[in-house]
Amino acid sequence: MLFDPKQENLPYTFALIKPDTTLKPNVVQEVVNKIEAAGLTIKNFVQVQELYREEVLNLFYKQQKYMDEIMTYMLSGECVMFLLCHETENPIIVWKKMIGNKDPLEAKKLDPQSLRAIYGTSIIKNEFHGSDDPFSANKERDIFKFPIPQKIPDFKFDKMLVSLETLFKFLYPPNLEHSNALERLDIFAIYGPCVNYHSVDQCLCRQCALIGKEHIEGVRESLIASEQTKLGIKIRPQPTTGTRTQLPQRVQLPPIRLLKEEDIKSIYQQLCEKCQFHCNGYTHLQGGRNMQHIMTDQELNTLAKEMNKQEILELLYSEKGNAANVMIETIDLNEPNHYTKEMIELLFKELETDYYNRFKFYHLQNVILEDRRIRMNAWMSILINKPIHRFKNPKLVCKVPSEMRKNPESIHYTINRILPLNQTYKKKDITKMPLDFPPNLADKEKLNPNEEKLALLKKLHRDTHHMVEIQDAKKVVSNGVYLLRKYNDGRNGEWDNYSSLKGMNRGSFVNYEEKKKKEKL
């Protein structure tokens, strides 16, 4: 199994069963049962093999006093080696406690139930070995080339970790046919992140909102109770009868109006189908007092226009001076560039993700803001007719190593291009036909007698054009020319490679037919 940097490394210890015990399979099975009963987990497959001299020296380099006897014994037979892990405790301490003192005579006095006390006979033949510390465990694991034990990390809701799926829900909401993804992308970078939070007032129907409010109130009360516990405030029970005295609240929390991801997960089955669709298909941007407001589409559009206006105005000031105030009033503030989903995926292609394919928000933010600088320069080059390569990158003023410019965590992160992605992105060419694509008659090896003429015409039409006058189109084109539409980009060119009509104009053709009828009359 290869090492996966996205998984979580487990603490481990190296364990070894020596030759005399390895010769007794029933004893080895008893030891394995005791290991599992102690809560330890055997990682990697148990290896049974004879050791080499170099391996023994690396394992027992601390035992120089008994090295000759240890070498003779360890090379006399096979050994069992494996790694041990524990879910909650330190596996090194647990295994050391199980095997006991290195001298079996001392082990019988201190802990008669230890493995060395039961199966060991002498300090050389104590039958078990364990790592002393994490450094030794790593070294001993490396001797036998065991992979590092790993586990899939537990999923945790974190608003600062954003997946592409979550981002695309914000950029392309189901209620908008043609959303300006780049404007929303810039808002996400500057005011984000977008989250799977939903307002009980704005997002849910009346019945589902009542369920959400009840759940939120329970969460709020538990937060107040935990804060009171931290501050050492005793919670006084309210009297059940008589007059209730209002005690001053020493812990106050603002009202909660948003359902977080974990809240949605707990009440999801109680929501109606429409509200479930909303929770699955939308992500929102928080705003307002205490971040308890969901930004609407109209607010986002207004915010995007204001952002574009401020940045374009600053760039115009640097180029045109006071004339910028007049020019800005005549400029359309809608983003002129447009990115597809494929382009946005390409923009974040080099960023690292966690095990669940989530990006760090700070990495996304740096990439988007750097790409926005490039798009703004391209926009300005159109407005003032200035070549785009003459716009300088302010981040290149400081001399820093190239590694820092490629690191998305650095403030000096730079993208090495001067044009927006929609001007440099090239669609992948189709190099292989799909398997279910119908074969072309012109490429067929064996033809039936009724197919030979048609196949010949198709082969000729690949390299020639049939030019006809519009008045002859009705009787000539229908008999001698075959109009073939392309199926996809991998076919043999456009349909006009097979036929081309000179002076094709429906109006002139109709006029010609009417004129012809009048002449007959």
Q: What is the pLDDT of residue 356?
A: 92
Q: Model-level pTM?
A: 0.72
H or E segment to which residue 168 belongs: helix 164-171
Task: Compute φ and ψ for 485, nearest 5 degrees.
Answer: -80, 150
Partner residues linked to 17 by β-bridges: 80, 128
- List, run by run, the mean pLDDT of 10-residue segments along the chain (521 residues): 82 94 92 93 81 91 86 92 92 94 91 92 92 93 90 89 93 88 93 88 90 88 81 59 49 79 89 91 88 90 92 89 88 89 92 92 93 91 86 73 84 86 76 62 80 79 61 52 42 44 43 58 58
* CA separation for the pair 225, 421 (Å, rounded): 52
Number of Cβ within 10 Å of residue 254's Cβ equals 10
Q: What is the pLDDT of residue 179?
A: 87
Report in angstroms the alpha-carbon separations of 18 from 29, 34, 35, 77, 140.
14, 17, 16, 8, 15
Contact 212, 234 (CB under 8 A): no
* CA separation for the pair 371, 438 (Å, rounded): 43
HSE toward the beta carbon, residue 296, CA cutoff 13 A: 5
List, in sequence order, the alpha helices (H) in 350-495.
Answer: 361-384, 402-406, 421-424, 452-461, 478-480
pLDDT in tens, 466-511: 565 655 555 555 444 444 444 444 444 444 444 444 444 444 444 5
* CA separation for the pair 53, 72 (Å, rounded): 10
Task: Compute φ and ψ for 37, nearest 5 degrees.
Answer: -65, -30
Stated length of the chain: 521
Q: What is the pLDDT of residue 366?
A: 93
pLDDT in tens, 405-427: 888 888 888 888 888 998 888 77
Q: What is the pLDDT of residue 430?
A: 57
Residues near 215 by beta carbon (within 8 Å), at least 6 away in sequence:
259, 263, 266, 267
* CA separation for the pair 227, 221 (Å, rounded): 10
Task: Compute φ and ψ for 360, nearest 5 degrees.
Answer: -75, 135
Q: Is 436 helix (H, G, I), strand (E, B) or coil?
A: coil
* CA separation for the pair 85, 41 (Å, rounded): 5
Report in angstroms the alpha-carbon separations of 148 from 83, 220, 352, 482.
9, 42, 21, 66
DSSP result, 139-154: HHHHHTTPPPPEEPPP
Contact 461, 494 (CB under 8 A): no
HSE toward the beta carbon, residue 189, CA cutoff 13 A: 18
Task: Compute φ and ψ for 182, nearest 5 degrees.
Answer: -70, -40
